[in-house]
């Protein structure tokens, strides 16, 4: 009889250890899933930030390109024509828009 109760106690202890181990594994899996979700959210956020930075860099690059191109263009051209002077109205308009936007 004493042997049966000892076996029952050992079986109960083993069952308790097994269920606690399973609970710990489930908690660890849940924590891993939570951390993975947080990583995905952080990656999405960093991707959005990088996309915005790239768009801003492209915009600045385009502005610098336009500025560089317009700096090389003269508003008044002195070359042979009917009155001796010519005006580049497209460049004058670009410079006026640029001056007005400042």
My answer on whether 39 and 78 are in the same domain is no
pLDDT tens sequence across 26-48 = 898 999 999 999 999 999 999 99
Beta bridge partner(s), residue 81: none
Total count of domains within the chain: 2
My answer on whether 78 and 67 are in the same domain is no
Q: What is the mean pLDDT of residues 72-77?
A: 67
My answer on whether 58 and 87 are in the same domain is no
My answer on whether 40 and 87 are in the same domain is no
My answer on whether 51 and 92 are in the same domain is no
Residue 45 to residue 50: CA distance in whole angstroms: 9
Measure Cα distances from 63 to 17, 49, 75, 96 in Å. 68, 21, 19, 15
State the residue range of the domain holding 97.
Answer: 74-102
Helix, strand or coil, per DSSP, at residue 76 = strand
My answer on whether 7 and 55 are in the same domain is yes
Q: What is the mean pLDDT of residues 59-84?
A: 71
My answer on whether 55 and 83 are in the same domain is no
My answer on whether 52 and 39 are in the same domain is yes
Helix, strand or coil, per DSSP, at residue 46 = helix
My answer on whether 14 and 63 are in the same domain is yes
My answer on whether 67 and 79 are in the same domain is no
Residue scoring higher pLDDT (99 or 75): 99
Q: What does pTM read for this prediction?
A: 0.46
């Amino acid at each position: 009889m004493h042997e049966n109760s000892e076996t029952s106690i050992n079986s109960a202890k083993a069952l308790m250890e097994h269920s606690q181990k399973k609970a710990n594994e489930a908690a660890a899996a849940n924590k891993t899933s939570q951390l993975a979700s947080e990583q995905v959210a952080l990656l999405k956020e960093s991707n959005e930030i990088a996309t915005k930075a790239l768009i801003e860099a492209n915009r600045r690059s385009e502005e610098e390109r336009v500025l560089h191109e317009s700096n090389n263009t003269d508003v008044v051209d002195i070359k042979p024509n009917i009155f001796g002077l010519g005006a580049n109205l497209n460049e004058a308009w670009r410079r006026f828009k640029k001056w007005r936007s400042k």
